[in-house]
Amino acid sequence: MFDLKITNGTIVDGTGADRFVGDIAITNGVIVAVQRGGGLQGDAAEVIDATGMIVAPGFVDIHTHYDGQVTWDGLLQPSSQHGVTTIVSGNCGVGFAPVRPGYEDALIELMEGVEDIPGTALTEGMTWGWESFPGYLDKLEKLDLAVDFGVQIAHSAVRTYVMGERGARNEAASSEDI
């Protein structure tokens, strides 16, 4: 018995092959059968009739700015509503880790200025609780997220952590900073 059977969907498998109508069976989170033309034999705990719908692998969005939103929105909307199953943040050099205590607002202002994300939303929504990048990753690991979430370390957060306000003035890093 399958855990899930998706029937009569228009399958776009991501290989570049032509789309086709068919059925898909899933057990333990793994696709175990694909039947072109439908008629896949076997019962399932759940059956979804996908007639008239596209069935495709999840999309990967490698350029997002969910660095703050991830702390309050486990669905990471609207991306998850559009079939995105993997998200990468920490892009454009902006992010929220590492952060020295008291410098949270500086990173929020930077994100707001670079990406036009409302600082008020970040200030009201974000739940902090880390200082280091590994601490941020630990925080993310504890969240119940609807998608896979990858994050790059943001160079502006590192610069702010090391140089404080001097980093914002476009001052060169000293040998001690480096």
Residues with Cβ within 8 Å of 114's Cβ and at least 6 positions away in sequence, in order, are 92, 93, 94, 156
Q: Check: CATH 3.20.20.140 for 60-168? A: yes
Fold classified for 2-56: Urease, subunit C; domain 1 (2.30.40)
Name residue, tokens 């974000």. 126
Q: Measuring CA to CA, which residue among 77, 76, 66, 75 is closest to residue 136?
A: 66
- Taking the domains of the chain in order of start, what are their residue ranges? 2-56, 60-168
Radius of gyration of the chain (CA): 22
Q: Tokens representing 139?
A: 């925080």
Cβ(5)–Cβ(24) under 8 Å? yes
Residue 168 pLDDT greater than 80, yes or no: no
Whole-prediction pTM: 0.81
* CA pair distance 140, 124, nearest whole angstrom: 18
pLDDT band at 174 (very low <50, low <70, confident <90, very high): confident
Coil, strand, or helix at residue 58? Answer: coil
Could you read off the pLDDT of 84-142 as tens digits, one per residue? 999 999 999 999 999 999 999 999 999 999 999 999 999 999 999 999 999 999 999 99
**Would you say residue 6 has pLDDT above 80?**
yes
pLDDT band, residue 171 (cuts 50/70/90): confident
Mean pLDDT computed over 2-14: 97
**Per residue in 60-71, pLDDT tens?**
999 999 999 999
Per-residue pLDDT for 176 more than 90? no
**One-letter identity of residue 73:** D
